[in-house]
Structure 1
């Protein structure tokens, strides 16, 4: 695999965080933060490990992480030089992790001037690494991956996030319509990042997340984009570059999609 030294280091960091998480698997209690969001001691320990390693290796870079040590806020540390910011989800799929359902991932993404340029999504239970860097290709372990190029058909998978409610607490019409049909095969994994990288891997043609945050998509977006897919907001305009100044956890709804499915899925979402 033609990994750069940086990508190889981030993969090793994600694997180290995964090893730590496995030590906690089946032995954690669900806590809450900032309302009713799930968190565990493993989330916080994973993020500490990741930031410690990245900060030692990339001392000028900034960090945005889903956690802080007491659950009162996220981590947002701006870079001391340049425009590189690492965006970290220490366990994407915490509710699955707590319930011992093996769909959760370590996510580490690099945004340079707000654009995804490197990403690692580590599927901890399956020991599978989805990794990409601009100029170095996209990979699932040692296999090069590309997003689908075919149009939607009755053979296609569509990934949907587990929380589809809008700001008013209602199910959008388009979401109900996807669940009410059988042409597209709808799947829900409970990890937004693992759902999105299925597009990069050629498994699914689209992945829709309504209530995600930046850390749910930063790493996966790099993998999808390098693999030839697209990552868009529901309106269909540009999601990136993202303004990271003062980011405090605003929702980032998105569609990760293959080029052949983009038109039909956007039309369905937009009504």
Structure 2
């Protein structure tokens, strides 16, 4: 993908994500039809579906040779990342959307033959867009984000992780993760993976850890974090498979290396 093509696709994607966000804000207080998917905490609403349909229809009518990987069923069945692939989460943080009417985002990552070219994360209710084009830096609205500082002290780091890390589970020994929470300055959980990636890129948290995310949860954030000098891997430090659900560790490299080596590897069962 050359620069002119990337700029044109970025312009279209930005226009559509703002339009989708405006529609959500207009309808935010309308009665919701809420369904569950894999479990009682895995929610989906008609707004998720209509937002994804809006984005998918625009993409397919404008870029007929592009592919879509998405959460709510409007995408393609893909077995490779060949070509240009839009990876979409129409509402990341649906539980926040339902219960709080805030703290959720629209997430779009655009990849070309497996390489992240564009990342967009739109904090809808705050009207804040985090964006990146490969090789051109990352932005919060129109302000360029600085590179992450690599001299941060571990004991001053803030780590974002949900409560599953700290409870008994089959993947990690929770005692090591409880030690991590004690050893860093603080821990947070925001309920939206996309926003947590954005906050890492902004430098207001230093690491984000999760045991299981789908590609539409991490695609855009991965592109944005790359542009500020951050890293995104599995919790074992391996590259991500963009077609699979996986564990994710993303953040400031100097913090991430210590977390994986000194806590996660010791916690892995």
May I ask how many residue pairs the two structures share in their alignment?
256
Q: Is the 8 A contact 1:30 1:39 kept in 2?
A: yes
Structure-2 residue corresponding to 1:17: 20
| 1:195 equivalent in alignment to 2:189 | no
Distance 2:68 2:8 in 1: 20
Change beyond 3 A, Cα 1:48–1:156: same
Structure 1 residue runs of 4 or more that deviate by more than 6 Å after TM superposition: none
More helix by share: 2
Structure-2 residue corresponding to 1:32: 36
- Give SS of 1:64's match: strand
Find 2:250's aligned residue among 231, 247, 256: 256
Change beyond 3 A, Cα 1:152–1:12: farther
Change beyond 3 A, Cα 1:14–1:214: same
Distance 1:66 1:52 in 2: 15
Unmatched segments (≥5 aa) in structure 2: none
| 1:270 equivalent in alignment to 2:265 | yes
Structure-1 residue corresponding to 2:143: 143
Change beyond 3 A, Cα 1:166–1:78: farther
1:84 CA drift (Å): 1.3
Q: Is the 8 A contact 1:232 1:239 kept in 2?
A: yes
- Give SS of 2:109's match: strand
Residue by residue over 1:33-59, the C-alpha shift from the partner in whole angstroms, topping out at 9 and shown as x without a partner, is: 244420000000010111111222221
Counting only pairs closer than 5 Å after superposition, residues 88-167 of structure 1 correspond to structure 2 as 88-145=88-145, 146-161=147-162, 163-164=164-165
Residue by residue over 1:148-199, the C-alpha shift from the partner in whole angstroms, topping out at 9 and shown as x without a partner, is: 32233443221114554687487733333334x1632111100011111212
Q: Is the 8 A contact 2:49 2:72 kept in 1?
A: yes
TM-score (normalised: structure 2):
0.86
Structure-1 residue corresponding to 2:228: 227
- Give SS of 2:15's match: helix
Unmatched segments (≥5 aa) in structure 1: 70-74, 245-249
Of stretches 5-14 and 117-126 in structure 1, the one that deviates more from structure 2 is 5-14
Find 1:57's aligned residue among 56, 62, 75: 62
Distance 1:219 1:200 in 2: 11
